């Protein structure tokens, strides 16, 4: 070394060697971090491609796999970056122990101040991991129902029937009601006047359900025949007849609306009365035990 740098004393040579070693170590750390990031991203892509090959191209499962892949790539990149940064600080002679201690204290302070934010991210991660919500689902969360337009680690974005957009932090989601999985039921409650024949009304409901199964618009939406539960409740003026139809996800509302439209026309054709309030008039009695007659005025045509 003295031949390469004549005139340098031993201290200068040692300092140069130290700087060279440190620089080399930092370059090696950066190279290894880059290789780790490259290999990690490649493994995540391979795994994502494998999972995508196992689902239908038109399935909304694709959205979940894409979201999870992005989440894992982000977490992996953050971990590699932090580890590489700590190793480089150690190489330049900066002790990471005080930094870790300070980070620990700061982390506790930040944790107390940002508990809701941390809770949002944890809940969002498990919502995605457990496949509770997917993009395109119709769900009810935090007492708000709508179509899931976006789900992130931070929030769920819903659009309701009126077109309003709701941003719901994942931390407040405790119960998820998902109306888009596997199948659904169109639950139909029909009020039939008490003086009508309930069996006739139930037979009409069966006939209409069969007609819907043969309809070109609805035959692909309906999975099974109508399931008649029977008389669910008796009221003052009506009998409540309950039935349900098993349908594909998100078809329950369309099937129910069309069923009720056809049912109304069928009831009118068969002169089956929808219930309306009835009134019983009692004129009362006088002391003699007789009541005055009640006269109802009638309009006579001319």
pLDDT, residue 280, reads 60
The token pair at 109 is 């302070």
The token pair at 122 is 């944890």
**295 has pLDDT over 60:** yes
Q: Could you give the CA distance from residue 284 to residue 287 in angstroms, rounded to a whole number? A: 10
The residues spanned by each domain of the chain are: 10-113, 133-178, 184-269
Angle between helices 252-269 and 198-214 (to 10 degrees): 130
Q: Which architecture, in CATH terms, is 133-178?
A: Roll (2.30)
With cut-offs at 50, 70 and 90, classify the pLDDT of residue 121. Answer: confident
The percentage of the chain sitting over the pLDDT mark of 70, rounded to a whole number, equals: 74
**260 has pLDDT over 80:** yes
pLDDT, residue 24, reads 84
Instruction: Give the residue carrying structure tokens 């493994």.
Output: 43
pLDDT, residue 302, reads 47
Where helices occur in 58-169 by DSSP H, the ranges are 61-91, 96-113, 115-129
CATH number of 10-113: 1.10.287.1260, 2.10.50.10, 1.10.260.40, 3.50.30.10? 1.10.287.1260
At 153 the three-state DSSP class reads coil
Instruction: Give the residue carrying structure tokens 């330049």.
Output: 92
CB burial of 72-91 (b: ≥16 within 10 Å; e: otherwise) equals: bbeebeeebeeebeebbeeb
With cut-offs at 50, 70 and 90, classify the pLDDT of residue 254. Answer: very high
Q: Could you give the CA distance from residue 139 to residue 130 in angstroms, rounded to a whole number? A: 15
103 vs 236 pLDDT, higher one: 236
45 vs 191 pLDDT, higher one: 191
User: If you average pLDDT over residues 256-281, what whole number do you get?
Assistant: 85
With cut-offs at 50, 70 and 90, classify the pLDDT of residue 56. Answer: low
Q: Domain 184-269 is in which class?
A: alpha beta
User: If you average pLDDT over residues 165-171, what whole number do you get?
Assistant: 92
Are 244 and 187 contacting, i.e. CB atoms less than 8 angstroms apart? yes
Of all helices (H) and strands (E), which one includes residue 30?
helix 10-52
34 vs 92 pLDDT, higher one: 34
With cut-offs at 50, 70 and 90, classify the pLDDT of residue 288. Answer: low
Max mean pLDDT range (43-57, 66-80, 205-219, 277-291):
205-219
Tens-digit pLDDT profile for residues 198-247: 999 999 999 999 999 999 999 899 999 999 999 999 988 889 999 999 99
Tens-digit pLDDT profile for residues 72-88: 777 788 888 888 888 88
User: If you average pLDDT over residues 49-63, what whole number do you get?
Assistant: 64
User: If you average pLDDT over residues 154-162, what whole number do you get?
Assistant: 91
Length of the chain counted residue by residue: 302
pLDDT, residue 191, reads 92
User: If you average pLDDT over residues 278-297, what whole number do you get?
Assistant: 63
96 vs 153 pLDDT, higher one: 153
User: If you average pLDDT over residues 156-183, what whole number do you get?
Assistant: 91
Of all helices (H) and strands (E), which one includes residue 144?
strand 144-151
Among 25-34, 217-226, 253-262, the least confident range: 25-34
**270 has pLDDT over 50:** yes
pTM above 0.85, yes or no: no
């Amino acid at each position: 070394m003295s031949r390469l740098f004549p005139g340098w004393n031993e201290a200068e040579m040692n300092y140069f060697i130290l700087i060279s070693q440190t620089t080399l170590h930092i370059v090696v750390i950066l190279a290894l971090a880059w290789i780790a990031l490259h290999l990690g991203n490649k493994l995540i892509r391979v795994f994502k491609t494998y999972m995508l090959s196992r689902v239908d191209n038109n399935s909304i499962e694709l959205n979940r796999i894409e979201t999870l892949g992005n989440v894992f790539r982000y977490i992996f990149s953050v971990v590699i970056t932090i580890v590489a940064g700590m190793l480089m600080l150690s190489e330049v002679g900066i002790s990471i122990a005080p930094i870790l201690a300070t980070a620990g204290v700061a982390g506790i302070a930040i944790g107390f101040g940002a508990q809701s934010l941390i809770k949002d991210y944890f809940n969002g991660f498990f919502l995605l991991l457990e496949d509770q919500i997917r993009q395109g689902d119709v769900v009810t969360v935090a007492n708000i129902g709508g179509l899931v337009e976006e789900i992130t680690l931070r929030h769920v974005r819903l659009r309701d029937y009126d077109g309003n957009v709701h941003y719901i932090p994942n931390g407040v989601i405790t119960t998820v009601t998902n109306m888009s999985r596997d199948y659904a039921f169109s639950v139909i409650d029909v009020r039939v006047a008490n003086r009508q024949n309930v069996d006739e009304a139930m037979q009409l409901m069966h006939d209409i359900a069969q007609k819907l199964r043969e309809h070109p618009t609805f035959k692909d939406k309906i999975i099974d025949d109508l399931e008649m539960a029977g008389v669910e409740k008796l009221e003052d003026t009506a009998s409540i007849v309950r039935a349900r139809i098993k349908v594909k996800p998100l078809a329950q509302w369309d099937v129910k609306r069309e069923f009720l439209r056809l049912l109304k026309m069928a009831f009118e054709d068969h002169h089956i009365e929808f219930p309306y309030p009835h009134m019983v008039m009692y004129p009362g009695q006088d002391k003699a035990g007789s009541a005055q007659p009640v006269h109802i005025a009638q309009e006579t045509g001319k």
